[in-house]
Chains A and B, each alone.
Chain A
Amino acid sequence: MRHTIQVLVENKFGVLSRVSGLFSGRGYNIESISVGPTLDNQISQMTIVTSGDDQIIEQINKQLNKLIDVIKVTDFTEFEHVEREMALIKVSPKSEHRAEALRIVDIFRAVIVDSSPKTYTIQVTGDGKKIQAIVDLLKPLGIKEIVRTGKVAISREGKTAG
């Protein structure tokens, strides 16, 4: 099963490689990982999307906790939470399809963040399914390039791990 795990770590040199090394060294799989600052500039936040059976997920949680620089591990799968990902998609539709591209942007409440005579760059946020859906619709129109941030997640208020 897929799990979204949030890890609070000391904002120190080398921590990301300790975490990614743990996953590669033990053969766990990382679907995405995103890292960013928190309000406390000594602490960074990582959101890791991984998958495995219960026993593997339990090990991943424990192994993360065992890393000296890890302050807290929260497996969001057990809690109500909101997940979002952002994608930037550069499309180059033929002129007869430019209007269709804009319609799709509208439907997904995405925005055009850059345009050129031949391309639009579309910014879309949502959960993984929504992003996949817009990608599927834009594909026939011609996608030149796509970049995705990987997931970030936050607990719903009142339903935190504590």
Chain B
Amino acid sequence: MKLSGAEILIECLRKEGVKHVFGYPGGVVLNIFDVIYGQKDVELILTRHEQGATHAADGYARATGKPGVVLVTSGPGATNIVTGLATAYMDSIPMVAITGQVPTSLIGNDAFQEADIVGITRPCTKYNFLVKDVADLAKTIKEAFFIATTGRPGPVLIDIPKDVTVSKTEFHYPATVDIRSYKPTVKGHMYQIKQAAAAIAKAKRPVIVAGGGVITSGAADELKELAEATKVPVTLTMMGLGGFPGNHKLCLGMLGMHGTYYANMAVHNADLLVAIGMRFDDRVTGKVEGFAPHAKIVHIDIDPTSIRKNVRVDVPIVGDVKNVLKDLNKVIKEETQESWGAIRKAWLSQVEDWKAEHPMAYEQDDVIKPQFVVEKIWEITKGDAIIATEVGQNQMWAAQFFKFIKPRTWISSGGLGTMGYGFPAAIGAQLAYPDRLVFDVAGDGSIQMNIQELATAVLNNLPVKVAILNNCYLGMVRQWQELFFDKRYSSTCLVGTPDFVKVAEAYGAVGLRASKPSEVEPVIREAIKVRKPVFMDFVCDQTEKVYPMVPAGAAINEMLLRPKDEKPAKKRLKAVK
């Protein structure tokens, strides 16, 4: 039987096991939406902005490991997803975005709602397609899912002209894909793996630096086995949070610009770094010339371009992190006879000293400290929650003060740092796991960038808990202005912020407010109790800063630490209502 392009698309999604598509309709995708209307397997979640759709699909993907799917119209619909694609691309998140396009006969004519979305998104997708013939559609969709989810994952875009959604052809979904020019290396080279094992056995001051690749490849157990067997402390990049238990005694927390003192000191003084599924982003390395100056570097990554891009590497291993760690653990078990406890004793005690010297801390006084809110969420949930974040100080405090235990519980825009990401991403995660607790730790600035998605959350009964750390400022930018621009607060005071409690109520969600420390815990408990989306407005200290901080251009051991003698900020700017 012949099917239309629109029918083929939905049939393919069904075959890929896609249950939810995040999208927004428009002229050239009418035929596709019409097919969706007539069936039950693939549910379309209508967001209130296409950007929200992409972040929701991204959050869904991060929470589940399955590709998120987006469907939008041509022109403005398509350009509205660019930020979402770039966000997913930077963080290697599998996503398939389908855009409608003007009919093939009009392409290139500056037709109504035409945008060259394939051209626009070429640098922010892993791959993209323009399907000009319905006969190619099924194969293209198969390839798109394959490319998005294999190797180093990423977003793939399929642009489908309107006439292709209408034309009919015989439907055949290929069972397998073979792209001769795309063969990711998944198995690590055994010789290199043995070199890595030898380096670990020889090292006096080793540190494991684990990143998002551990989450992507599902290698948390293998990582734990490696660290425990060889007694090597583990620090995580922001993308790696949840890849190693935050409450483990070998865990040093996050490294880098806002990393812990002890993680940065350990990395700086290390004689061996075992870098696993991470890419030495500049937020991790600080000044590259001053990064881990004494360390030999073993680097395991599935993407060869990540290796030796920013830092020198002594033992490169290209492969899927899980496979490589399995092999590495085996080699270590069979071929090394070290008494690990004894050889690590001095190093681990040095690390403990650093922990004791500058633990992660803050001082709670009569104004709510944002860190206190994050810590309370941690205590109340015992870490059993999915935490999405916005971008800014809120994101860093969430990363620092919530101890992530399990993979895929941390959902945050790392590479692109996209404000407005967290709330729709939390909605996507909640849709994937209706019964789990999903928070969005938000800033008062960021939440306003996709606040319209409250409607999506309310209508779909997605009880996301948004904890707004309301400091009346674009706090992270304000922090830089305070420290490096002579307190000239140019455009960072958020005058005109709405009453978030009333906003929530206007959408049919629940709004709660905590204005003093004693109200924090009751508000969180109340929010958890109601089976509805909740905005919690935490009226926080406006001057609190994120520490440690590695200033721009400094090495990561040159941190600004929390000034202990700083008087708690008593004077507060009048809250803007």
Contacts and interface: CB of A to CB of B under 8 A. Distances in A.
B305 A63 contact: yes
A71 to B, nearest CB: 4
Contact of A68 (B130, B182, B309): B182
B314 to A, nearest CB: 15
Interface string B276-319: 00000000000000000000000000011100110000000000
Nearest to B182: A68
Contacts of A63: 305
Interface string B339-362: 000000000000000000000000
Interface string A43-87: 000000000000100110011011011110000000000000000
* Chain B interface residue bracket vs A: 10 to 19
B126 A25 contact: no
Closest 6 CB pairs of A and B: A62-B305, A71-B181, A68-B127, A62-B304, A68-B182, A25-B123
A127 interface: no
Interface string B84-128: 000000000000000000000000000000000011001100110
17 contacts: A13-B130, A14-B130, A18-B122, A21-B122, A21-B123, A55-B308, A58-B308, A59-B309, A62-B304, A62-B305, A65-B304, A66-B305, A68-B126, A68-B179, A68-B182, A70-B181, A71-B181
Interface in B213-255: none
A59 B127 contact: no
Interface string B115-148: 0001100110011001000000000000000010
A17 interface: yes
A68 B304 CA distance: 14
Given A18-B122, A21-B123, A59-B309, A66 B130 contact: no
A142 to B, nearest CB: 42
A14 B180 CA distance: 18
Contacts of B122: 14, 17-18, 21
Contacts of A9: 181
B180 A71 contact: yes
Nearest to A67: B181
A66 B181 CA distance: 9
Nearest to B309: A59
Contact of A69 (B130, B181, B303, B305): B181
A129 B147 CA distance: 44
A71 B309 CA distance: 22
Contacts of B127: 68
Contacts of A62: 304-305
Interface in B177-226: 179-182
Interface in B11-66: none
Contact of A10 (B126, B181, B309): B181
Interface in A2-51: 9-10, 13-14, 17-18, 21, 25
Given A55-B308, A65-B304, 4 more contacts: A9-B181, A62-B305, A68-B147, A68-B181
A19 to B, nearest CB: 11
Contacts of B305: 59, 62-63, 66
A123 B128 CA distance: 41
A66 B303 contact: yes
B99 to A, nearest CB: 15
Contacts of A25: 123
B485 to A, nearest CB: 28
A74 B303 CA distance: 19
Contact of B118 (A14, A65, A66, A71): A14
A34 to B, nearest CB: 20
